[in-house]
Amino acid sequence: MPETDSHIPALSRAESLIRTVADYPKPGILFRDITPLLADAEALRVTTEALVAPFEGEFDVVAGIEARGFILAAAAAITAGVGMLPIRKAGKLPRPAASVDYDLEYGTATVEMHDDLPAGSRVLLIDDVLATGGTLEAGRVIVDRLGYRLAGISVLFEIDGLGGRDRIGDLHTVFRS
């Protein structure tokens, strides 16, 4: 659904529910805890609508990156009336078709994905936070490797100053710090 003036106060309230937790998961990291937003039905609804609105009609499925990206992608898929595919951490899928290694701001990781869609399927990639962009870059690469078309990237929260937007390029962000 397109964002309307009536969504602006609701989105502001939703943003106020995101907590910053210092030194998690390791010293120096400011973790964005979206649990209070997820627990609030109205906040979850308006943010989910805001995640998909710019891409309405342009995607066949939503892909969400583990773990909080799953939650948002599932809600977005229901909102848009499409299916959802998980992009999981290594070793969590029974038959991964592709994998990508990437760097985080506090380590390295690998993600994997199944190839359950026809080639050329249009995928909206969703995650919770854009920081350095490593996770979303891995998501973009794995979508491409499997022969799907990236319809767009949408994130709930972008942390400015960490280089994520420079790395990812064009994407939609609901909230920025």
Interior angle at CA 37, CA 140 and CA 125, nearest 5: 10
Tokens of 175: 């909230």
- Given the residues 45, 105, 145, 167, select the one marked as catalytic: 105
Choice among 68, 88, 122, 140 that is catalytic: 68
- Is 68 an active-site residue? yes
- As a whole number of angstroms, the distance between CA 94 and CA 114 comes to 9
DSSP H helices in the chain: 7-16, 35-38, 41-52, 68-80, 134-145, 164-168
**Residues recognised as catalytic:** 68, 105
